[in-house]
Amino acid sequence: MSLFNTIIPSLHHGTHEGNGDPHPICRPYFEIDETEGAYGVTVYMPGVAKEGLEITAEGGELRITGKRATKLPEGVTALHRESSDAAFELVLTHDNTVNTGKIEAELKDGILRVALAKVESAKPRKIAIT
Amino acid sequence: MRLIHYTNPNALSIAPTAGLGGRFPRGDIEDQVDWLFGTALAGFSGLARGGQFPVDIFEDKENTYVRAELPGVNRDAIGVEIVEGSLSIQASRKEKSGEGESTVSFNRLVSIPDEVQADKVSAAYENGVLTVTLPKKEEAKPKKITVSVN
């Protein structure tokens, strides 16, 4: 991974623990799809419960943060780690074609689905020819 | 995709780029490389797309714990087996792609210590994370033996 760290700056930021950062964060895997009336964002956040999830929409920015809730007994020692304890953070920007009053989100089994309704002016319109 | 694009949460400057015609969403070269590679490598920073998935192994005095990140998997589609001293985890996830539906399969074989009580293994799935608890055999637990010296 040290090679990746050098060439790809994003892997510096937060994805690895033990770098002295008290609040490490990592970017979750996500997908965006689009329908006529809305955008759909699917974010993979394993280990995040409803209580640890926060979604804010402000000024053309949608910010999704999720803290992992791990349910392991206290005093366990790690023998092998591949996942990270870092919280997830994803920031998406849009040019205000999203109706922030109509954002719906659903979290199930570590997958968050956010539906962002488009504002009326951004929806495709059919023009009747007379 | 045209209207929503990713902004690095750690990016210090989100100043518009001059001279590049706004082709790159952000300022300095580090961020541009980040932007070019970021999406392609997103899968490396945690979740694998099909095939392997991240696994953690923990232990305490009583148990060994194997934790696997498997978001969006139906409980019925998870199979946990112990085969010849290894823990086999299989899972599949149904994904909607456009109009059709595809199934992504995951499987992983984790070698586990010999001193596990195979018949008392339990598993729990919560928030997309599978935790398998493997109790240790009595003789494998740390024991204090007092030897009397005559």
- Per DSSP, B136 falls in state B
Which of B3, B54, B72 faces A83 most closely, judged by CB atoms? B54
pLDDT, position B34? 60
- Is residue A47 within 8 A of residue B127, CB to CB? The reply is yes
β-strand A38-44 against A61-68: which pairing, if any?
A: unpaired
Which helix (H) or strand (E) covers residue B34, if one does? helix B29-41
How do residues B97-136 score in pLDDT, each as one tens digit? Answer: 667 888 888 889 998 877 888 888 999 999 999 999 999 8
Q: How far is A130 from chain B (nearest CA, A)?
A: 32
Which of A44, A49, A62 faces B47 most closely, judged by CB atoms? A44
How do residues A86-125 score in pLDDT, each as one tens digit? Answer: 899 999 988 888 888 888 999 999 999 999 998 888 778 8
Q: Which residues in chain A are contacts of B71 at CB distance < 8 A?
A: 44-46, 109-111
The overall pTM is greater than 0.80 = no
pLDDT, position A121? 80
How do residues A19-68 score in pLDDT, each as one tens digit? Answer: 455 678 889 999 998 888 889 999 999 999 999 999 998 888 899 999 99
Tokens of A94: 């849009």
β-strand A25-26 against A87-93: which pairing, if any?
A: parallel
pLDDT, position A14? 43
Q: Which residue of B has its CA nearest to A107?
A: B127
Question: Of A17 and A20, which is predicted with more confidence?
Answer: A20
Count A/B contacts: CB-CB distance under 8 Å.
154
Q: How many CB atoms lie within 10 A of CB B65?
A: 18
On whether any CB of chain B is under 8 Å from the CB of A129, the answer is no
pLDDT, position A100? 84
Average pLDDT, chain B: 73
- Is residue A109 within 8 A of residue B127, CB to CB? The reply is yes
On whether any CB of chain B is under 8 Å from the CB of A67, the answer is no
Task: Tell me whether residues B45 and A91 touch, CB distance under 8 A.
Answer: no
Tokens of A51: 């209580």
Which of B30, B60, B64 faces A9 most closely, judged by CB atoms? B30
ipTM for the predicted complex comes to 0.73
How do residues B16-35 score in pLDDT, each as one tens digit? Answer: 434 444 444 445 666 666 65
Task: Tell me whether residues B128 and A14 touch, CB distance under 8 A.
Answer: no
